Chains A and B, each alone.
Chain A
Amino acid sequence: MGAVRNILRWLVPLGLAYGIVLALIQVGVINNYLFATMMTICINIILATSLNLVVGFTGQLALGHAGFMAIGAYTCAIITMRVDGIVGFVLGVLAGAVLAAVVGFLIGLPVLRLRGDYLAIATLGMAEIIRVFINNMGITNGAAGLSGIPRHVDWNWMFFFLALTLVFLWHYIRSAHGRRAIAVREDEIAAEAIGIDTTRVKVQTFTIAAFFAGIGGGLYASYFYVLQPSQFGFLKSIDILVIVVLGGLGSMSGSIIAAIVLAVLSTFLAQFTDLRMIIYSLLLVLIMIFRPGGIMGSREVSLGILGKVFGERKDPAAMVAPPIVKQDDEEVPSDEEVK
């Protein structure tokens, strides 16, 4: 019974979301422009929730998510341009995700020993290096980029991959593996003292996040059919981080809400053309000043009504905690410290 209830907890909201959107498309309420916005939202949700795993749940400040997205996007594009049909597309998305994960693993292994801002700048640098490579490779067509990538993504495919990402990540966080990541965020020294290999945990979440960022990239390539290295710069990584922080560190539903809010906001701001970015950045500063914990803090949206319908009880496994990326400046005592 418990298992069924657990499955319903994510199946019901996802099913509803899928059905509603499908119905709206059928009825014609969702036009092309709206549909493109929705695709952006879905891709951003994939990117933000996966980054949240690293930044919000494991407490490691990574600033290079766009790099993994780029690997996924280019891999998917290159494969779909050579292998026809839906096979090429699925193969492309998965290959991109795997390649991103492999790169994430190889980079994460040495880099994740770094702490706080050092890790941030190293991951930022890593993403820039990936971009420089893409910029100079033949197969990626350099700075000019790729265009005419076959478009295979429709609402069904997008929803499939979005649901896959959310369900997997949601389950991961609510498992022993996820708890281990949260322990690393809370107190690395205590985590090590109870036998947790903190480096391994960090590399694991980083690799998983890279994998899903790769999926996000693949979907991006397939839907928007044009790729240029400049789309995956430092600012793209920042965009994703902004969604995570705005939604709340360590809140999956927060990332989802923030991705939607930001897309709506940017659609709304589109009418101001010149002033658009000024208003956006001003809002960013104001939100951080007045609500530094983000929209959700670290809470999750409890499925209030649904919860009551299915007799959901408060699950202690839902570890909600204010996940502050630890203030390294408290670690002042140096080597000379005795006790």
Chain B
Amino acid sequence: MSLLSVNDLTRNFGGLTAVSRANLHVDEGELVGLIGPNGAGKTTLFNVLTGVYPPSSGTIELNVDGTTTSIGGKRPNAICRAGVGRTFQNIRLFKDLTVLDNVRIAMQQNIPYSLLAAFTHAGTFGGKEQQIRDESEQLLAVMGLADKADELSRNLSYGDQRHLEIARALAVRPKLLLLDEPAAGMNPNETRDLTDLISQLRRDFGLTVVLIEHDMSLVMRICERIYVLDHGSIISEGTPEHVRNDPLVIEAYLGEEAPNA
């Protein structure tokens, strides 16, 4: 059974069908790419998967450790706790909080303590807070942000902000990580580093990753399987080589005026 099974998923906005009868299956440990021209519905698909929009129809199932949960239409926070972490296309950090706090707020979700401890700073408070802090700092170190822990996240460089978003998403300890254009705005060097980092994170954290990306070099290099979305429908699926040579995909990207080579 796949980790993520999406069956006949449709999402309409008024008369517009942003995602149309999409079927996706992602196995545990896979690294899957989601590509398609602008306006194809990639981000909308992510938003439906993470509960920002409920699906108009269709089902989404998550199978973690042998138990299957239907997450279609659940609230984003419930879907997150079921094991799905994500980043946003237009970076949504807590901009006026420090780098450490951004990660802590996510990390603390796994290390809860009581309201009474919060009011008194007694009992389990000290130990739990220390644990939250230590684990957050470890994660920041992995993401190369250890020396920036006390900076306001709005003051980070663009690349660092993208890294921090990934760190925050990892802090909730997801099984499935959805990355929405993680390399957007990065130069080729940064993109290469990010590619390596994603592969490394997948190994170290035992993650399954689905990523939306426009940078084809990144997608073709690290994705094992690719889904191509156009006008809300999945028009092709397979290995990078297969997708690259699919005439439907070429047409979707180049438009109908493309020479029929």
Contact = CB atoms under 8 A, between A and B. Distances in A.
Interface in B1-52: 13-14, 16, 18, 39, 41, 43-44, 50-52
Contacts of A138: none
Given A171-B119, A178-B118, A195 B109 contact: yes
B104 A339 contact: no
B98 interface: yes
B101 A6 contact: no
Contacts of B115: 177, 204
Nearest to A194: B106
A175 B121 contact: yes
B96 A321 contact: yes
Contacts of A316: 98, 100-101, 149-150
A193 B125 contact: no
A175 B125 contact: yes
A192 interface: yes
B21 to A, nearest CB: 17
Contacts of B77: 192-193, 195-198
Contact of A186 (B80, B96, B106, B132): B96
Contact of A193 (B41, B80, B89): B80
A254 to B, nearest CB: 16
Interface in B84-127: 85-86, 88-89, 92-98, 100-101, 104-106, 108-109, 111-113, 115, 117-121, 125-126
Contacts of A339: 39, 41, 43-44, 89
B172 interface: yes
A49 B100 CA distance: 26
B140 interface: no
B105 A322 contact: no
A120 B125 CA distance: 34
A250 to B, nearest CB: 10
A339 B100 CA distance: 30
Interface residues of A, number: 38
B242 interface: no
A190 interface: yes
A281 to B, nearest CB: 32
B219 interface: no
B75 interface: yes
Interface string A322-339: 110000000000011111
B81 A195 contact: yes
Contacts of B16: 336, 338
B86 to A, nearest CB: 6
Nearest to B95: A186
Given A3-B126, A192-B76, A338 B121 contact: no
Given A176-B118, A177-B118, 15 more contacts: A3-B126, A171-B118, A174-B121, A179-B104, A186-B94, A187-B94, A190-B93, A195-B77, A195-B109, A195-B172, A196-B109, A319-B98, A319-B101, A335-B13, A337-B13
Interface of A: 2-3, 6, 168, 171-172, 174-180, 182-183, 186-187, 189-198, 204, 316, 319, 321-323, 335-339
11 contacts: A168-B120, A171-B120, A175-B113, A175-B121, A176-B112, A182-B105, A186-B97, A189-B52, A189-B92, A190-B94, A195-B77
